[in-house]
Amino acid sequence: MTGARWLDAREMAAWRAYLSASHLLERRVEEQLKAESGLTHAQYEILARLSDAPDRRLRMTELARGVVVSKSGLTYQIGQLEKRGLVERATCPSDDRGVLAVLTDRGVECLRRTAPGHVAVVREVLIDLLTPDELEMMTRVMSKVEAATRASAGPLP
């Protein structure tokens, strides 16, 4: 372990604050979604991304990259959502090997019912705590971290 650039006190404080805040935020979001709709956060994110997509459909590979989950992890989540009738799979018209995830009308209704409680929690524990300048800074910082992580991580989705 020689040659490691250890974190100094200020860097360690920032890292620990990030870890605690991100874990607590994720837990609150998971609790709200489970209680209100029986969805996991990953499942909600899948529904939300499909809702924003043209014709409420995305290639599975594109969806996996967007929600930052492996292809097998996404396949599992889509299977769970299919059992509830919230999504379905379809063959990609331009590529027979490609698979699309498609948000169903039932999925749209689930999202419509769940979204207000979800956004209320996100506002309560994050958005409304920050000034507009802090929100802008957070967006820049997290975008920078995302780009660097995706660039250096290798085979992440």
Give residue 154's pLDDT: 63
Given a cut of 70, whether residue 139 has pLDDT beyond it is yes
Give residue 70's pLDDT: 87
Burial of 32 (0-12, 13-18, 19+ CB in 10 A): buried
Contact 100, 91 (CB under 8 A): yes
* Count of all residues that appear for the chain in the document: 157
Q: To 10 degrees, the CA torsion angle through 127, 43, 34, 118?
A: 20
Give residue 101's pLDDT: 96
Angle between helices 9-37 and 105-125 (to 10 degrees): 140
Contact 67, 74 (CB under 8 A): yes
Domains of the chain: 12-143 (1.10.10.10)
**Cα separation, 27 vs 110, whole angstroms:** 21
Given a cut of 90, whether residue 97 has pLDDT beyond it is no
Give residue 1's pLDDT: 53
- Write out pLDDT tens, residues 58-82: 999 999 999 988 889 999 999 999 9
Give me the mean pLDDT over the 115-131 stretch.
97
Given a cut of 90, whether residue 100 has pLDDT beyond it is yes
Q: Which of 36, 83, 78 is nearest to 57 (CA)?
A: 78
Give residue 57's pLDDT: 96
pLDDT band at 123 (very low <50, low <70, confident <90, very high): very high
pLDDT band at 96 (very low <50, low <70, confident <90, very high): confident
Give residue 114's pLDDT: 97
Strands 95-103 and 57-59: antiparallel
**Cα separation, 113 vs 36, whole angstroms:** 9
